[in-house]
Amino acid sequence: MKSKFLQKLRSFAILLSLSLLGNMSMAQTVTIGTGTPTTSYFPIYSCYVYNYAQQVYWATELNAAGASGPSFINKIRFYVSGTAQPTSTWQAWQVFLGNTTVDGIATTSSWQTGLTPVFNGNIPTISANTWMELTLPTPFFWDGISNLVVATYENSPNYYCTQTWGGYSAPAPSTPGSMRGRLFYSDPTDPGTTNPPAANYSSNTIAQIQFDMTPATPCTGSPTAGTVTPAGPLATCAGAQTMLTASGFTLAQNITFQWEESTNGGSTWLPIFGATTKSYAAQPTVTTMYRMMVTCTNSSQSAVTNAVTITVTPPNYLPIPYV
């Protein structure tokens, strides 16, 4: 009896070990940028009170570094180069991620919008010549084909000159004048994150970065569509822009998005050409309803979000006085 028990215990231990090894093999660390290049500007420029930066990392770079298709990003790391400076005066960070089709930030004011907040808090204590790790409370879904925007915002009420980071001399974007990284920094002006001022520093030398990624599983059955915010009803002038964003949808491989619009109260819905991401910048000229369709291409089943109505109010013309 004892021998049989020990044999079963050994078998269980072997199966458990194999299971753990299998789970570990699912996680990947993807590193972009190595060696001795440095930057003082990305991910943030600690010598100023306020910072907002965006950097673009290409899907080809992620795949070359070991990413394997659609994945969840669980952690982000930036390399601390040289001396680790005190962080108490620049420790309050927010980080945003987004899938994008652009390969660079085209102009100083063409910030990417509709990004997903993934970290909001104080950074950990840093050490020289090591990676600073940020754990994302909710993993971010990278679709496996898009480039990746990494935005960092820092607004601690002071500064320290100057933390140096590991740098990556990235290939230039295909569009002339476009840059892989853009930064706004200032002492008196807080850029916020919704409508930052024009960047006052741009470069193709961006931060070395690591992503901890877990490959996503293929979708099955009927997906969850999620919810569009703001939920409305909304009112705007003709042609004014309203950013609509969906959340809570199924995150998996082979999930597609398609925004639809209706100008007859929901009787007829038409797909909006090119509106195939989780966010859509609506600019209606007449009262219009919007919703997003989520499809699992494996099962050919779809679901739709709530519909948001944007009422277009006509301009209010003042009478011209008779002279």
Q: Looking at the structure, tell me whether residues 106 and 171 fall in a common domain.
A: yes
**Model pLDDT, residue 134:** 98
**Model pLDDT, residue 33:** 96
Residue 78 lies in a domain: yes
The string of pLDDT tens digits covering residues 143-154 is 899 999 999 999
Tell me, what CATH number does 300's domain have? 2.60.40.10
**Residue 142 and residue 65 in contact, taking contact as beta carbons nearer than 8 Å:** no
Q: Looking at the structure, tell me whether residues 197 and 235 fall in a common domain.
A: no
Residue 67 lies in a domain: yes
Q: Tell me: pLDDT of 176 over 80.
A: yes
The model's confidence at residue 186, banded by pLDDT at 50, 70 and 90, is: very high
**Model pLDDT, residue 279:** 86
Supply the DSSP string of 23-36, one letter for each residue. Answer: HHHH-EEEEE--SS
Q: Tell me: pLDDT of 321 over 80.
A: no
Q: Looking at the structure, tell me whether residues 70 and 178 fall in a common domain.
A: yes
pLDDT > 90: percent of the chain: 77
Task: Give the pLDDT mean for 22-33.
Answer: 74
Q: Looking at the structure, tell me whether residues 60 and 197 fall in a common domain.
A: yes
The model's confidence at residue 15, banded by pLDDT at 50, 70 and 90, is: very low
**Phi, psi at 50, each rounded to 5°:** -115, 140
Q: Tell me: pLDDT of 283 over 90.
A: yes
d(CA 157, CA 161): 14
**Model pLDDT, residue 251:** 85
**Model pLDDT, residue 1:** 47
**Model pLDDT, residue 22:** 41
Task: Give the pLDDT mean for 98-119.
Answer: 95
Residue 256 lies in a domain: yes
- Quickly list H helices, the chain: 2-26, 59-64
Residue 25, judged by CB atoms within 10 A of its CB (0-12, 13-18, 19+), counts as exposed
Nearest 5°: the CA angle 244, 213, 111 is 35
The model's confidence at residue 3, banded by pLDDT at 50, 70 and 90, is: low
Supply the DSSP string of 83-137, one letter for each residue. Answer: S----TTS-EEEEEEEEES-SSB-STT----SPEEEEEEEPPP--TTEEEEEEEE
Residue 323 lies in a domain: no
**Model pLDDT, residue 323:** 59
Q: Looking at the structure, tell me whether residues 208 and 270 fall in a common domain.
A: no
**Model pLDDT, residue 114:** 85
CB within 8 Å of 125: residues ≥ 6 apart = 87
Task: Give the pLDDT mean for 93-118.
Answer: 95
**Residue 118 and residue 138 in contact, taking contact as beta carbons nearer than 8 Å:** yes
CA separation, residue 287 to residues 29, 113, 267 (Å): 47, 24, 14
**Residue 108 and residue 16 in contact, taking contact as beta carbons nearer than 8 Å:** no
**Residue 26 and residue 215 in contact, taking contact as beta carbons nearer than 8 Å:** yes
The better pLDDT of the pair 16, 235 is held by 235
Q: Looking at the structure, tell me whether residues 144 and 252 fall in a common domain.
A: no
**Model pLDDT, residue 7:** 54
Q: Looking at the structure, tell me whether residues 165 and 276 fall in a common domain.
A: no
The string of pLDDT tens digits covering residues 239-272 is 899 989 898 898 888 899 999 999 999 999 999 9
**Model pLDDT, residue 148:** 98
Query: Which residue range forms the structural domain that includes residue 51?
Result: 27-215
**Phi, psi at 24, each rounded to 5°:** -65, -35
Residue that terminates a domain, selected from 215, 241, 271: 215
The better pLDDT of the pair 232, 105 is held by 105
Q: Looking at the structure, tell me whether residues 163 and 64 fall in a common domain.
A: yes
Residue that terminates a domain, selected from 215, 246, 274: 215
Residue 236 lies in a domain: yes
CB within 8 Å of 172: residues ≥ 6 apart = 104, 178, 179, 180, 204
What residue type is 323 in one-letter code?
Answer: V
Q: Tell me: pLDDT of 21 over 50.
A: no
Q: Tell me: pLDDT of 10 over 90.
A: no
Tell me, what CATH number does 127's domain have? 2.60.120
Task: Name residue, tokens 């009170």.
Answer: 49
Residue 322 lies in a domain: no
Q: Looking at the structure, tell me whether residues 198 and 272 fall in a common domain.
A: no
pLDDT > 70: percent of the chain: 91
* Start-to-end Cα distance in the chain: 112
The model's confidence at residue 61, banded by pLDDT at 50, 70 and 90, is: very high
Provide the CB-side half-sphere exposure for 254 (13 A, CA).
13
d(CA 157, CA 305): 40
Q: Tell me: pLDDT of 157 over 70.
A: yes
Mean pLDDT of the chain: 90
Number of domains the chain is built from: 2
Q: Looking at the structure, tell me whether residues 153 and 260 fall in a common domain.
A: no
Element containing residue 206 per DSSP (H, E): strand 205-207
CB within 8 Å of 313: residues ≥ 6 apart = 235, 236, 237
Token pair in block for residue 111 = 């910030």
Q: Looking at the structure, tell me whether residues 174 and 260 fall in a common domain.
A: no
Q: Looking at the structure, tell me whether residues 162 and 68 fall in a common domain.
A: yes
The model's confidence at residue 99, banded by pLDDT at 50, 70 and 90, is: very high
Residue 13 lies in a domain: no
